[in-house]
């Protein structure tokens, strides 16, 4: 299955970039888990295990020809939806929302898995329905349903952040394949005008939730406080940072979730502008590399798959860091390959595996 | 480049045009993020570094005030008072041993005790004050305040504290608060509870926790390097809890508690038309304020070791044999099933023989010949043995269940017991021994396996009084917000119906009235006195054996029997007999005869009720 040509075409740069980000992530996680000279080794070990599993999944993801993904795109998509329904029916409730599914051995977040499955499904659809001059509205009916179902299911958990992210990834892909200009304007018009309707349908506490999401200052004891402390942590890093394990803000636990969603504060505080710049540069290179894979792919499915996977990583990085820097609402979006979290780590590594897969097989002729 | 494969379609070419746009978009997002980082870390870096070094911005809780509890007339039963807690912020203390030593000198508490509290505090967010001592006296507060500047990091926090206005008043009904336990906290964190919070642990305080608790607030505080508060940045006020208006009548409750003084037992007064619990006393009681102050180990031990179980709410939790207060069930069963009619005359010679056993009547010489009405009025055991023999246990059990014995009354208080109505099948299952004929007899006079709680008896007699409605006993009349606006009215709730022929019911009511008002009635003592003597009372006495009396021995004088072997005394009554307004159930543990030990207590409670009614009416008339 893997012949010499495949090895020649293996995208080592992509792999190295991924490894570099994981390395930065682990150093930061180590620091985030240190408190008063002690390290919370349990969580660190668990994350290492997850990366171990991630490597296996990644190998699996690039070994099999991605044509298989195309063949099983829809069943995989349906499987993802089933998991999302299962999580609503019997998920574990953690701080008021059901996001976790107990699978016996591990507890996983199906919404993480849904991201690549949705991308694969959409890639499959658009690869078979080629179109000149952009899609018209009525031709987008099926993909619209494919997007809306998981977006709504995730929003019901409720996990509005991930729901919005799924939407952003899908819209990126649809815009990428091209939409007829008139249809695009109409769609934008419909979306904007339906917002007040949603607002009208929401219950009081739901509106409150959305308002807090948009303006953390409304919740000075929760999100508002997190943002203040987050900005203090990042800002106090200044140019060179305070040094490894010397970040007082995050280490003194001013930052809640500082080993998960807010882990960037730890890096920015301890390594300053220089460190932040390095991580951002690594991510930017990874994304450009991902786009390159898409660009060079020889078939429509590969192009869309590469683009979609890259879009997943892009939106995570952009939304997470913008949130930490106080530019976007506080939503539970992890920083890929840096934040602690098994589902995210394994799914991101599988996604990189898919990118490697697409990169590797660009020359191989198919039937 | 080989990637420009001849197979590539125009659509892909079209997409290729979009790559520069995508690159441009991605790059510009990263530039924006970098600009933001530059702004935070370089331009504002100094000021953020400064804020971070002093860790200046902290979060403090504002504890909500718990709802006030009133009686039905608006008298305050439970309120809140300010309490002064001693706390310390670990990060602000330079030398913890020195500071704790100073505090120990000022307050006369051993330093080791403070140290232990300090070290066992959970490691949460930084700059969280650690509680050293709750509820200091005024003198202690003054001592700490006057040394404030030598004690860096030490603070006095003001917190609302629960205050039970009359010590031990309605203790079992109102209940008390306690500090949240760690195991409890796990499930309750999402409801906003935190370590160190107080929450309802017993009674109304427990059952109505949701309404009473209120909502925590908090503030963002900017502090100086020594931890002193400079200014409040943002504040979310706490929301006080809702107030409760109970169905309780303070005067009646006090009277009931006084009646039980020095005894173990329970008194319940219900309004038979609404199910309102007008009084619920269980003796011995406890002082709820002790739980708020915090019980010492010895205080706790003395409560737990007390053989009379002060923490048990005997009115809903105590399950007792009910003796002759069960007889109305047997009477109703016999009439309904046609076993007897009101004119059936049976003889009582003081003894009844079945097989080798001799069953006695409580009256040694016997009652002679009597009809059904007199059999209940005089509580003749021999008459009821014969009814029991004819009915059999299962028919009596069916009617017992019809009177809702053996199931909870659904009063909204914790630990209610269900009692027990035995059947032949139950006994076989439970003990593996078949039902004996003689047990039919014993059951007919409310002995044997039969068990009930005082609240069940009150609800049972209330249904006779009100013509057949089983009401759910109601403890809370309404919930009000802090401004007094009604949030929720708790309406009366009918949970069942007594399925008796109206003739049977009125016969039963007449007989119960005879028990108190007729010269030979066993409950004569409960007749109201003085101005109130015209109010007619209906009721039934019960003397429940705790152990089976030795069969062939001469009956002993009550005072010679050891306390724990003495009979339980019951009396359940309602008045006025023709239009009942109040039902009173009295149980005195090991009190002896129902007629002499329990009936007078019921009379006292009813007299209190009707005389305060008279006063009210007179006041109303004069206005």
> SS3 sequence, chain A?
CCCHHHHHCCCHHHHHHHHHHHHHHHHHHHHHCEECCEECHHHHHHHHHHHHHHHHHHHHHHHCCCHHHHHCHHHHHHHHHHHHHHHHHHCEEECCEEEEEECCCCEECHHHHHHHHHHHHHHHHHHHCCCCCCECHHHHHHHHHHHHHHHHHHHCCCCHHHHHHHHHHHHHHHHHHCECHHHHHHHHHHHHHHHHHHHHHCCHHHHHHHHHHHCHHHCCCCHHHHHHHHHHHHHHCCCCCCCCCCCHHHHCCCCCCCCCCCHHHHHHHHHHHHHHHHHHHHHHHHHHHHHHHHHHCCCHHHHHHHHHHHHHHHHHHHHHHHHHCCCCCCCCCCCCCCCCCHHHHHHHHHHHHHHHHHHHCCCCCCC
The reply to whether A366 falls in a domain is no
Q: Which of A76-90, A160-174, B122-136, B205-219 is the least confident region?
A: B122-136
How far apart, in Å, are the Cα atoms of A55 and each of A283, A349, A358, B6? 19, 7, 17, 35
Residue B113 has pLDDT above 90, yes or no: no
Residue B225 has a pLDDT of 59
Structure tokens of A45? Answer: 């070990």
The pLDDT tens digits of the residues spanning B326-384 come to: 999 999 999 999 999 999 999 999 889 988 888 989 888 889 999 999 999 999 999 99
Return the residue of B nearest to A359 by Cα: B3
pLDDT band at residue B126 using 50, 70 and 90 as cut-offs = low
Chain A positions in Cβ-Cβ contact with residue B34 (cut-off 8 Å): 277, 280
Residue B409 has pLDDT above 80, yes or no: yes
Is the CB of A332 inside 8 Å of chain B's CB atoms? Answer: no
Chain B positions in Cβ-Cβ contact with residue A232 (cut-off 8 Å): 48, 51-52, 57
Residue B420 has pLDDT above 80, yes or no: yes
Return the residue of B nearest to A220 by Cα: B234
Q: Any idea what the Cα angle at residue A247 is, between residues A241 and A252, rounded to 5°?
A: 160
Residue B13 has pLDDT above 70, yes or no: no
Burial class, B188, CB count within 10 angstroms (exposed 0-12 / middle 13-18 / buried 19+) = middle
How far does the CA of residue B565 sit from the closest CA of chain A (Å)?
54
Partner-chain contact A280 B33, CB within 8 Å: yes
Number of other residues whose CB lies within 10 A of the CB of residue B425:
13
Partner-chain contact A298 B59, CB within 8 Å: no
Residue B170 has pLDDT above 90, yes or no: yes
The pLDDT tens digits of the residues spanning B553-605 come to: 445 555 667 777 889 999 999 999 999 999 999 999 999 888 889 999 999 99
The pLDDT tens digits of the residues spanning B140-156 come to: 888 888 887 778 788 88
Residue A37 has a pLDDT of 67
Q: Which of B101-115, B431-445, B511-525 is the least confident region?
A: B101-115
Partner-chain contact A235 B22, CB within 8 Å: no
Residue B69 has pLDDT above 90, yes or no: yes
Compute the distance between CA of residue A115 and CA of residue A169 in angstroms, rounded to an integer. 8
Residue B518 has pLDDT above 90, yes or no: yes
Chain B positions in Cβ-Cβ contact with residue A131 (cut-off 8 Å): 11
Residue B124 has pLDDT above 70, yes or no: no
Q: Which of B106, B109, B129 is nearest to B118 (CA)?
A: B129
How far does the CA of residue B30 sit from the closest CA of chain A (Å)?
7
Domain count, chain A: 1
How far does the CA of residue B60 sit from the closest CA of chain A (Å)?
9
Residues of chain A with pLDDT under 50: 365-367
Q: Prior bond to B406 cis, omega within 30?
A: no
Compute the distance between CA of residue B275 and CA of residue B583 in angstroms, rounded to an integer. 10
CB proximity list for B378: less than 8 A, separation 6 or greater: B363, B367, B370, B520, B521, B522
Catalytic machinery residues of B: 324
Tokens 């629960």 sit on residue: B162
**Domain ranges across chain B:** 62-246, 250-297+312-622
First-to-last alpha carbon distance for chain A, in angstroms, is 15
Average pLDDT of the residues in B172-191: 83
Q: Best mutation site among B7, B19, B36, B37 for testing chain A: the one with the most A CBs within 10 Å? A: B37
Residue B526 has pLDDT above 50, yes or no: yes
Do A48 and A340 contact (CB within 8 A), yes or no?
no
Q: Best mutation site among A125, A126, A231, A236 for testing chain B: the one with the most B CBs within 10 Å? A: A236
Residue B7 has a pLDDT of 32
Residue B122 has pLDDT above 80, yes or no: no
Is the CB of A59 inside 8 Å of chain B's CB atoms? Answer: no
Residue B216 has pLDDT above 50, yes or no: yes
Q: Is the dihedral of CA B12, B16, B18, B22 positive or negative?
A: positive
Average pLDDT of the residues in B215-224: 80
Full residue range of the structural domain in which residue A281 is found: 4-360
Nearest to A273 among B38, B46, B220 (CB): B38
pTM here is 0.71
Partner-chain contact A224 B7, CB within 8 Å: no
Compute the distance between CA of residue B352 and CA of residue B384 in angstroms, rounded to an integer. 11
The pLDDT tens digits of the residues spanning A121-170 come to: 999 998 876 666 677 777 788 888 999 999 999 988 878 888 889 999 99
What mean pLDDT is reported for chain B? 87
Q: Which of B104, B122, B102 is nearest to B112 (CA)?
A: B104
Is the CB of A2 inside 8 Å of chain B's CB atoms? Answer: no
The reply to whether A96 falls in a domain is yes
Strand segments, DSSP code E, in B89-242 are 130-133, 154-164, 177-179, 198-200, 217-223, 229-236
The reply to whether A365 falls in a domain is no
How far does the CA of residue B194 sit from the closest CA of chain A (Å)?
14
Residue B21 has pLDDT above 50, yes or no: yes
Q: Which of A337, A288, A297, A298 is nearest to A317 (CA)?
A: A337
The topology (CATH level 3) of B62-246 is Penicillin-binding protein 2a (Domain 2) (3.90.1310)
Compute the distance between CA of residue A24 and CA of residue B60 in angstroms, rounded to an integer. 35
Is the CB of A158 inside 8 Å of chain B's CB atoms? Answer: no
First-to-last alpha carbon distance for chain B, in angstroms, is 108
Residue B230 has a pLDDT of 73
Out of 3.40.710.10, 3.10.20.740, 3.40.440.10, 1.10.760.10, the CATH code matching B250-297+312-622 is 3.40.710.10
Compute the distance between CA of residue A23 and CA of residue A337 in angstroms, rounded to an integer. 9
| Selected residue with higher pLDDT from B39 and A211 | B39
Nearest to A238 among B15, B41, B219 (CB): B41
The pLDDT tens digits of the residues spanning B430-441 come to: 999 999 989 999
Return the residue of A nearest to B38 by Cα: A273
């Amino acid at each position: 299955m893997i012949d010499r040509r495949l090895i020649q075409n293996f995208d080592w740069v992509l792999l190295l970039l991924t490894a570099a980000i994981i390395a930065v992530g682990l150093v930061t996680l180590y620091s985030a888990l240190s408190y008063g000279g002690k390290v919370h080794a349990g969580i660190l070990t668990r994350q290492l295990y997850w990366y171990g599993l991630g490597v296996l999944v990644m190998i699996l993801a690039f070994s099999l020809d991605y044509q298989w993904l195309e063949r099983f795109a829809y069943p995989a998509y349906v499987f993802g939806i089933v998991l999302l329904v299962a999580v609503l029916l019997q998920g574990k409730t953690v701080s008021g929302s059901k996001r976790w599914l107990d699978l016996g051995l591990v507890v996983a977040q199906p919404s993480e898995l849904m991201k690549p499955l949705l991308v694969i499904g959409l890639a499959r659809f658009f690869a078979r329905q080629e179109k000149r001059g952009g899609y018209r509205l009525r031709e987008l009916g099926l993909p619209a349903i494919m997007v809306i179902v998981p977006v709504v299911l995730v929003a019901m958990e409720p996990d509005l952040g991930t729901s919005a992210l799924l939407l952003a990834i899908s819209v990126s892909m649809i815009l990428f394949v091209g939409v007829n200009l008139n249809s695009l304007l109409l769609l934008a018009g419909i979306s904007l005008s339906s917002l007040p309707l949603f607002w009208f349908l929401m219950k009081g506490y739901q509106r409150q939730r959305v308002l807090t999401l948009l303006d953390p200052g409304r919740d000075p004891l929760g999100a508002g406080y997190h943002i203040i402390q987050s900005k203090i942590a990042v800002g106090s890093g200044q140019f060179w940072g305070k040094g490894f394990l010397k970040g007082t803000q995050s280490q003194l636990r001013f930052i809640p979730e500082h080993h998960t969603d807010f882990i960037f504060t730890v890096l920015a505080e301890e390594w300053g502008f220089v460190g932040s710049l390095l991580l951002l540069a690594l991510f930017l290179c990874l994304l450009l590399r991902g786009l390159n894979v898409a660009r060079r792919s020889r078939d429509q499915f590969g192009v869309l798959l590469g683009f979609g996977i890259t879009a997943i990583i892009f939106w995570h990085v952009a939304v997470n860091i913008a949130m930490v820097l106080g530019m976007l609402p506080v939503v539970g979006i992890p920083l890929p390959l840096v934040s602690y979290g098994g589902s995210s780590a394994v799914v991101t590594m599988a996604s990189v595996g898919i990118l490697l897969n697409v990169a590797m097989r660009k020359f191989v002729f198919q039937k | 480049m080989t990637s420009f494969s001849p197979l590539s379609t125009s659509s892909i070419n079209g997409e290729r045009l979009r790559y520069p746009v995508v690159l441009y978009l991605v790059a510009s997002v990263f530039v924006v993020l970098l600009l933001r980082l530059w702004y935070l870390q370089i331009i504002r870096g100094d000021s953020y570094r400064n804020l971070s070094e002093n860790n200046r911005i902290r979060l403090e809780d504002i504890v909500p005030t718990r709802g006030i509890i009133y009686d039905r007339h608006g008298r305050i039963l439970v309120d809140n008072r300010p309490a002064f807690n001693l706390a310390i912020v670990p990060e602000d203390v330079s030398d913890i041993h020195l500071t704790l030593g100073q505090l120990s000198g000022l307050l006369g508490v051993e330093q080791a005790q403070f140290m232990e509290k300090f070290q066992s505090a959970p490691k949460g967010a930084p700059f969280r004050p650690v509680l050293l001592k709750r509820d200091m006296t005024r003198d202690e507060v003054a001592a700490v305040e006057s040394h404030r500047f030598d004690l860096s990091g030490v603070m006095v926090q003001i917190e609302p504290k629960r205050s039970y206005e009359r010590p031990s008043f309605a203790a079992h009904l109102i209940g008390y608060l306690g500090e949240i336990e760690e195991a409890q906290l796990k499930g309750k964190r999402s409801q906003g509870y935190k370590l160190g919070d107080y929450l309802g642990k017993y009674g109304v305080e427990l059952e109505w926790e949701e309404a009473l608790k209120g909502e925590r607030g908090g503030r963002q505080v900017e502090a100086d390097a020594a931890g002193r508060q400079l200014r409040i940045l943002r504040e979310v006020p706490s929301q006080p809890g809702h107030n409760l208006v109970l169905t309780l009548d303070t005067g009646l409750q006090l009277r009931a508690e006084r009646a039980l003084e020095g005894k173990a037992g329970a008194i319940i007064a219900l309004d038979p038309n609404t199910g309102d619990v007008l009084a619920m006393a269980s003796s011995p009681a406890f002082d709820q304020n002790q739980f708020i102050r915090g019980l010492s180990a010895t205080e706790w031990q003395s409560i737990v070791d007390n053989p009379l179980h002060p923490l048990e709410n005997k009115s809903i939790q105590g399950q007792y044999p009910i003796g002759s207060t069960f007889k109305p069930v047997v009477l109703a069963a016999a009439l309904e099933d046609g076993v007897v009619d009101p004119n059936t005359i049976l003889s009582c010679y003081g003894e009844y023989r079945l097989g080798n056993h001799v069953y006695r009547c409580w009256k040694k010489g016997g009652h002679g010949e009597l009809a059904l009405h007199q059999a209940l009025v005089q509580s003749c055991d021999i008459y009821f043995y014969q009814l029991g023999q004819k009915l059999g246990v299962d028919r009596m059990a069916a009617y017992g269940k019809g009177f809702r014995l053996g199931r909870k009354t659904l009063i909204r208080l914790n630990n209610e017991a269900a009692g027990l109505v035995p059947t032949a099948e139950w006994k076989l299952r439970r003990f593996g021994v078949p039902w004996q004929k003689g047990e039919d007899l014993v059951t007919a006079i409310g002995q044997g396996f039969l068990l009930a709680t005082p609240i069940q008896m009150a609800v049972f007699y209330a249904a006779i009084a009100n013509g057949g409605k089983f009401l759910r006993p109601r403890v809370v009349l309404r919930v009000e917000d802090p401004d007094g606006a009604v949030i929720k009215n708790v309406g009366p709730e009918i949970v069942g119906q007594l399925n008796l022929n109206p003739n049977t019911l009125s016969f039963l009511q007449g007989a119960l009235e005879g028990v108190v008002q007729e010269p030979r009635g066993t409950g004569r003592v409960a007749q109201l006195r003085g101005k109130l003597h015209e109010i007619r009372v209906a009721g039934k006495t019960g003397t429940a054996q705790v152990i089976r009396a030795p069969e062939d021995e001469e009956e002993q004088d009550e005072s010679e029997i050891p306390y724990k072997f003495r009979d339980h005394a019951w009396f359940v009554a309602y008045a006025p007999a023709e239009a009942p307004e109040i039902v009173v159930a009295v149980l005195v543990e090991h009190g002896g005869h129902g007629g002499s030990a329990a009936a007078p207590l019921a009379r006292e409670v009813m007299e209190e009720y009707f005389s305060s009614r008279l006063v009210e009416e007179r006041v109303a008339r004069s206005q």
